[in-house]
Amino acid sequence: MINVYIVNLGKYNKGINQGKWLELPCENIEEELASIDVVNGTAFEEYAIHDFEVDIDVKIKKDMSLECLNDLASTLEGLDDCDKNQLNAFLEAYGTSNIDYAIESFETDTAIFYDDCTLEEVAEQIVDEDSTIPEWIKNYIDYSSFAKDLSIDGYFETAYGVIVLA
């Protein structure tokens, strides 16, 4: 769920607060913008986002594209908690400035995601799943150092888990 409060920037700069809450995804953004007199080719063709409500961990800036946010809202529909955690991990890893790339990476599933894990826990999982390592040697492995090496190799620890960026 993404809700944004959009204002007509030209009118706002003249001291007139003309805006509205917009629930995303939205079928016709141009029509919604026109309802607050934001129309391309006129003196008032710019908008700004002054407030927002989201159910994922993304920082929305006042100059973000409504089309980009609309795509994000469409992606959010129907996601379970694990998928939302994975999307949050992509957004944290790529940053808000690369939100389109984060969504594309999430949708094309180009990364491995370890839900609710630390890098050290992922290191332990990798070792546990490797049948070529004898059990008695596993007690001597420095998982903290192994985790640091993983971070160099594209493993990125987020607040939601570990994502392996390709």
How much is the average pLDDT of 34-49?
90
How much is the average pLDDT of 59-70?
83
Domains of the chain: 2-77 (3.10.20.480), 112-164 (1.10.10.1190)
- Choice between 106 and 29, residue whose per-residue pLDDT is larger: 29
- Choice between 96 and 145, residue whose per-residue pLDDT is larger: 145
Q: Which residue has the tokens 């769920």?
A: 1
Predicted confidence band of residue 127 (pLDDT cuts 50, 70, 90): very high
- Classified as helix, coil or strand, 124 is helix
Q: What's residue 109's pLDDT?
A: 67
Whether residue 20 has pLDDT greater than 90: yes
- Backbone phi, then psi, for 61, in 5-degree steps? -95, 160
User: Which CA distances in Å does 111 have to 84, 106, 116, 143, 158?
Assistant: 14, 8, 15, 22, 14
Whether residue 23 has pLDDT greater than 80: yes
Q: Cα(97)–Cα(110) distance, rounded to whole angstroms?
A: 19
Q: What's residue 110's pLDDT?
A: 66
